[in-house]
Structure 1
Amino acid sequence: MQACAPYAAMLLVQFAYGGSNILMKIALEKGLNQIVFVVYRHVIAVILLGPFAYVIESRKQRPLLSLSVIIKIFLLSSLGTTIHLNVYYAGLAYTSPTVASALSNVIPSLTFIMAVLLGMEKVKTESPRGWAKMLGTAICISGSLVFTFWKGGYLFKSFENRALINIYSTKGSAGEYRHAKENWIKGSALILTSHFAWSAWLVLQAVVHKVYPARLSLNTLICFFASIQSSFLALFFARTPAIWKLDWNVQLLTIIYSGAVISALGYYLQTWCISHKGPVFVAMFSPLLVVIVGLFSAFAFAERLHLGSLIGTGIIVVGLYCVLWGKRQDNSAARKPDEGKGLADGKASETSINDYPMTNPDTSEGK
């Protein structure tokens, strides 16, 4: 049961992100400012996480904050929250949730490359598990490209003749809706930039966790710095008082959902998985997001699914399985020497970030 926990946690995270993508697209169309959203979202997360971090984690688990640790956490917050979220939601305003989710499939390859360059992930090309991880990453990316760009072939009818939720300002032909601000190239460029920052966030978490292992406190500090950083951006880009006003509408629902489910619960689950399985394991679940959002969009927004969508989904699942198989073989190979030496059962039975060679964490900070 314990061995399945990281897999279940990451599946839950991807479903949570799928819901966030849909809600955020609706909220943006209804006028929610993305910087205001990021500030409020992380304030809620701090309020929720702070008391748990203080009560559950002892002083031994929560080391003193040195200037070096504060800088690392501040940089971590800048990459994974301030830069990633503000740039991502700016791009989401110019494209559809399905395309935005599909582009997230560059995260596994970016994270994999960063982890290999920093010595956190080892690839042995002479072993099957090494090839499985490399090929699996390439297969996942290929599947996401097929899902997104292959529009030929049989066009499956949407689940609904009319969209359950119509968020677009202009409507084209039946079952096909276009956003007035649609700019695929601009939106894709912004989203790809945000995913580069997110990949760096996943990798840097492994570095920061070594010097600050208190997960709840770490995520509380990340959300705190995120709210401060985005508040500073708001001085330049969100100075109109009216956009900070909250009413009982979908904008408020999106803020509460994202603050409680994504920033509080989701960030913690990802940090926990990274500490046990490493950043590449967490990144490899990103391809599932495009499937989740694509299916929901077909039902709620009457987006039509092509044959390429079904084939792309299958390719993504195959690629994900290959990488997870390679990671599992890595864990088995790492345990064999320990078993031969008769080490105590208290040793970690899984590959964790504590096993990664990080002789000079400060060099990772500048990545």
Structure 2
Amino acid sequence: MESSSSTISSYSVAIAMILVQFAYGGSNILIKVSFDKGLNQIVLVVYRHVIAILLLGPFAFVLERKQRSLLSFSLMAKIFVLALIGTTIQLHVFYIGLHYTSATVASALNNALPSFTFLMAFLLRMEKVRISSARSRAKVAGTFLCIAGSLVFTFWKGHYLFKSFTERPLININAPHVKENWIKGCGLILVGYTGWSVSLIQQAMILKVYPAPLSINTLICFFVLLQNFVLAMFYGRDPSIWKVDWNINLVTIFYCGVVNSAIVYYIQSWCISKKGPVFAAMFSPLQVVIVGIFSAVAFAERFHLGSMVGSVLVIVGLYCVVWGKKMDTLVDENTDVDEKLELGSSEKVVEISCQK
């Protein structure tokens, strides 16, 4: 029964992380379009986290009353740093990079997240790797397959071009031309993803001592607001930028606030608490596939042979990682059972000797 429940848990976490990547892929497209339409990034960060606090706060207060304990100054400082590195700095650096590139490129560079997170977790001894073990080899191979698949999807076109899903774009957006700088944009996005990797590791550490993901994410959003109010005093003093009309910009703000900053933040924290930061990061390469498929349907972009090959590599890589983590869980559970049986047998021996 325990093994079957752990299997269900593994698959439920995997499905949750796939949904998270769909959410992030959609936000990348919306944010890129909104920035081209003139939305200020500080305005986006502030408004989306106001919405998140209004949504997460009541649930955290009601559902986690028994889980919460008094926050020490040390723990509050760690959550503040988590908000600074993993959200404020990460979002602003990522957004600046997105100005110079495209949503597809930003999603493709997301394939660096698993390798960064895996390396940090390994160095901090949060992830066990034994080359002699099949499950460890599966995790390592899956990591490289995901990265390779994303790179192939993005950079190798191939000569064969598949027919588009639609003859005409379903979505036509006339945005002003924005000067692109591929190298600068990619560099900034990679810096942002590095901060995200650090935040995944840091969040896993905090959840071990304070297992209340709703409350933690509410505090993160609160600290992000404070940090961005300070930034707004220098870079957002023009009152006109805070006025948002009923257009794609408003849709982006509500989408990022409700889906990304509220729902996705919580789901990601839950997945990290269940399977660790590396498992959560492994699903990030799916973004480039999701954004690519959406672009083919909505914008009538045509798939190349490299896109198909890259998609297959990503799927195979994810399967290897999921299988490796599943076997880790089963081994840990069997080890716990064996330890309990040994402890029980030793107690019986002691009891018999005492009776004698």
Tell me the residue number matched to 1:216.
Answer: 214
Aligned equivalents of 2:313, 2:259: Cα separation in 1 = 29
Q: Aligned partners of 1:28, 1:299: CA distance in 2, in Å?
A: 22
Contact residue 96 and residue 185 of structure 2 kept, 8 A: yes
Once the two structures are superposed, residues 42-64 of structure 1 have per-residue CA deviations (whole angstroms, 9 ceiling, x without a partner) of 11100111111111111x41111
Q: 2:53 aligns with which of 36, 46, 49?
A: 46
Runs of 4+ displaced beyond 3 Å: 166-170
Structure 2 distance, partners of 1:165, 1:338, is 54
Q: Greater CA deviation, 2-11 or 118-127?
A: 2-11
Question: What does 1:25-44 correspond to in 2, within 5 Å?
Answer: 25-44=32-51
Give structure 2 stretches of 5+ with no counterpart: 1-7, 342-356
Aligned equivalent of 1:329: 327
Work out whether residues 87 and 190 of structure 1, in 8 Å CA contact, stay in contact via their aligned partners in 2: yes
SS at match of 1:341: helix
Mapped to 1, the partners of 2:132 and 2:178 lie a distance apart of 52
User: What letter is aligned with 1:31?
Assistant: G
Unaligned runs of 5+ in 1: 171-178, 344-367
Deviation at 1:224, TM superposition (A): 0.8
Query: Following TM superposition, by how much is the alpha carbon of 1:156 offset from its aligned partner in structure 2, in angstroms?
Result: 2.2
SS in 2 for 1:155: coil
Which residue identity is paired with 1:81?
T
Find the partner of 2:226 among 225, 228, 239: 228
Instruction: Tell me how far 1:197 sits from its aligned partner.
Output: 0.4
Conserved 8 A contact 1:168-1:180: no
1:306 equivalent to 2:304? Answer: yes
Name the CA shift for 1:66/1:259 in 2 (closer, same or farther; >3 Å).
Answer: same
Match of residue 97 from structure 1: 103
C-alpha distance after superposition, 1:255-276 (max 9, x if no partner): 1111111111100001001001
Choose which of 69, 75, 78 in structure 2 pairs with 1:72.
78
**TM-score normalized by structure 2?**
0.90
Separation in structure 1 between the aligned mates of residue 166 and residue 96 of structure 2, nearest angstrom: 29
- How many residue pairs get matched? 335
Flag the 1:152–1:3 CA change in 2: closer, same or farther, 3 A.
Answer: closer
Query: Do 2:14 and 2:322's aligned partners in 1 also have CA atoms closer than 8 Å?
Result: no
What's 2:315 paired with? 317
Q: Report the aligned-residue RMSD.
A: 1.6
Question: Counterparts in 2 of 1:138-157, with a 5 A limit?
Answer: 138-157=144-163
Q: Give distance in 2, aligned partners of 1:169 and 1:155.
A: 27
Tell me the amino acid that sits aligned with residue 205 of structure 1.
Q
Q: Distance in 2 between matches of 1:54 and 1:47?
A: 11
Q: Which has the higher helix share?
A: 2
C-alpha deviation, 1:332, in angstroms? 1.5
2:15 is equivalent to residue 8 of structure 1: yes
Between stretches 298-307 and 325-334, larger displacement belongs to 298-307
Distance 2:100 2:174 in 1: 11
Q: Any conservation in 2 of the 1:105–1:287 contact (CA below 8 Å)?
A: yes
Residues 260, 292 of structure 1: CA spacing in aligned structure 2 closer, same or farther, 3 A cutoff?
Answer: same
Instruction: For 2:333, give the aligned amino acid.
Output: R
Whether the 8 Å CA contact 1:46–1:224 is kept in 2: the answer is yes
Give, in angstroms, the shift of residue 238 of structure 1. 2.2
TM-score (ref. length: structure 1): 0.88
